[in-house]
Structure 1
Amino acid sequence: MINNTAPTLVKDIMWTQVDIVDSKCTVQNALNDMQHKKTKMLLVDKSHDYDEYGVVLIADIASKVIAKDRALERVNVYEIMTKPVISVHSDMDIRYCARLLTRLGLSRCPVLDNGKIVGVVSLTNIVLNGLHIV
């Protein structure tokens, strides 16, 4: 049986409110930003054109700063971020995106088009907004 319906793409379900911080900002400032925006992930901007984006998660702050008894205001984001960040493109079928995220043990990732962040997609987005039951 051939399915003639167009697939649901990442761009159809991603959110475009993206939280990007400078790598030199303190973890305290990043955490304040996370609390204010009610997010668990901040993307870290490139330092120059040939750099890559990074990501800092609540788990990074917990394991690399709080658990090691480091001062939030004395640690910079670049010291604890993960870089380069795993990303997907906006025209990716959400089924492949779901496979990639689960295979890598990720719950969310940025969406890049032409090397620029255009959104963020999460497994929650995919499950709750992406699957159309026929």
Structure 2
Amino acid sequence: MPKRVRTGLTRSDILDRYIERVKQMLVKFQPFLSRKRGTASLEDFDEAAEDLIGQVFGAASEESEAYFYAKSGESIMLPEEAQESGMHDVERETLQQRRQVLASCLADLELRRRVQATRESSRHGKGGLRATVEAYMSHDVRSIHRAATIKEAGKLLLKHKVGSLMVDDGSRYIGIITDADLSRKAVAKGLDPNTTAVSACMSKSFVTIEEDEPLSEAMALMKKQGIRHLPVTADGTVIGVLSVSDLVRAFQDATP
């Protein structure tokens, strides 16, 4: 067994380093979105990005799979009208998806860093999230029918720029499908996006939280369940969705 070496770095130090590395990665990626590209190789960038994401989140993490899914350029995420016209830049779409994954990784790390800062402040009698879920949730509940295809689900995620959709059967919500579900349950298994129904990839049982609960409770619930999107209810009726990005925004507002 290799000897464990203490680096002297605190958890906050490590998170700060990861945040800085992801920020640098986003800066390095920007030229690929420009028409005037540099001499950097996209293949080399992908290798470096996947290596970093693997170090931070794990090689088998949702983040790693999401990046693999993004660079694969699966057509289920492309708008129908764009495919029919033949004018849509497929490569640019995959680039945008890469950027979204990296931005999501950054938001996740910044949330962890703010949680850590809150814990450290709490030891000295400071900090804490006192706002309710309602104050930061998204009030737009995007949904899709269970019989729709995962290709249609991907199109809606892109159109509305969201990471999840509630799934309904025409009268009530019966599940939730996220961008991670599309990569883990669809692309990774080679399912046909044109014929596979949303019901085959959705999470049938989904956790919810009431609108008047404190954000700290929502954060604890998301961590316990290992989820990034939390449906919000009012007396049992879904009225919104809280995401990791919303929690980051809440921490930013709570920081003096």
| TM-score, normalisation: structure 1 | 0.84
Question: What's the RMSD between the two structures over aligned residues?
Answer: 2.3
Which runs of 5 or more structure 1 residues have no equivalent in the other structure?
Answer: 1-6
CA contact (8 A) 2:207 2:231 kept: yes
Deviation at 1:102, TM superposition (A): 1.1
Structure 1 residue 27 corresponds to structure 2 residue 150: yes
After superposition, the Cα gap between the structure-2 partners of 1:132 and 1:63, relative to the gap in structure 1 and judged at 3 Å, is closer
Secondary structure, aligned partner of 1:53: strand
Cross-structure match for 2:175: 54
Query: Whole-Å Cα distance in 1 between the matches of residues 183 and 244 of structure 2?
Result: 22
Q: How does 1:67-86 map to 2 (within 5 A)?
A: 67-86=188-207
Cross-structure match for 1:120: 241
Structure showing greater radius of gyration is 2
Higher relative contact order (CA 8 A, sep 6+): 1
Deviation at 1:26, TM superposition (A): 0.8
Query: Whole-Å Cα distance in 2 between the matches of residues 62 and 126 of structure 1?
Result: 24
CA contact (8 A) 1:108 1:122 kept: yes
The C-alpha deviation readout for 1:1-59, integer Å capped at 9, x for no partner, is xxxxxx3100111111111111111111111111111122111125556xx53111112
Query: Whole-Å Cα distance in 1 between the matches of residues 240 and 149 of structure 2?
Result: 24
Which runs of 5 or more structure 2 residues have no equivalent in the other structure?
Answer: 1-129
| TM-score, normalisation: structure 2 | 0.46
Question: 93, 103, 123: which is aligned to 2:224?
Answer: 103
Give identity over the alignment, percent.
22
- Structure number having the greater helix percentage: 2
Moved over 3 A (4+): 46-49
- Structure number having the greater strand percentage: 1
Question: 39, 51, 71: which is aligned to 2:162?
Answer: 39
Deviation at 1:99, TM superposition (A): 0.9
